[in-house]
Amino acid sequence: IAGITQAPTSQILAAGRRMTLRCTQDMRHNAMYWYRQDLGLGLRLIHYSNTAGTTGKGEVPDGYSVSRANTDDFPLTLASAVPSQTSVYFCASSSGINSYNEQFFGPGTRLTVL
């Protein structure tokens, strides 16, 4: 049982380059999320999707875009990376969108933008 996989594990990227972080889940969860984790700030929500074909903006969406073509995949794209996007990125999923639903997290992608 894989759960949630993310790729790449880590990446060093030149500023201005385009980058897509991949996220795939095999739990058939409807809801998926992207967070970034920064020291002293915890995890902050970037974008979310409550079902295939729909997406929404989270707390820090600027500079990022997402798509949800099917249930399993939820890629996060940085169109033109900037150094402030250096962070650890976590993808998560949940079976529902109620307050009590547990979110399951992937192992993360460590991104460095130079």
Partner 1 sequence: DQQVKQNSPSLSVQEGRISILNCDYTNSMFDYFLWYKKYPAEGPTFLISISSIKDKNEDGRFTVFLNKSAKHLSLHIVPSQPGDSAVYFCAASALIPGAQKLVFGQGTRLTINP
User: What 3-state class would DSSP assign to 83?
Assistant: helix
- Of 11-19, 43-51, 64-72, 77-85, the segment contacting partner 1 by CB under 8 A is 43-51
User: Residues 1, 14, 62, 102: which binds partner 1 (CB under 8 A)?
Assistant: 102
User: What 3-state class would DSSP assign to 68?
Assistant: coil
Whether residue 101 contacts residue 94, with contact meaning beta carbons closer than 8 Å, is answered with yes
Q: Is 100 in the site for partner 1 (CB under 8 A)?
A: yes
Angstrom distance (rounded) from CA 76 to CA 109: 11
Footprint of partner 1 (CB under 8 A): 4, 31, 33, 35, 40-45, 48, 50, 54, 56, 58, 90, 92, 94, 96-108
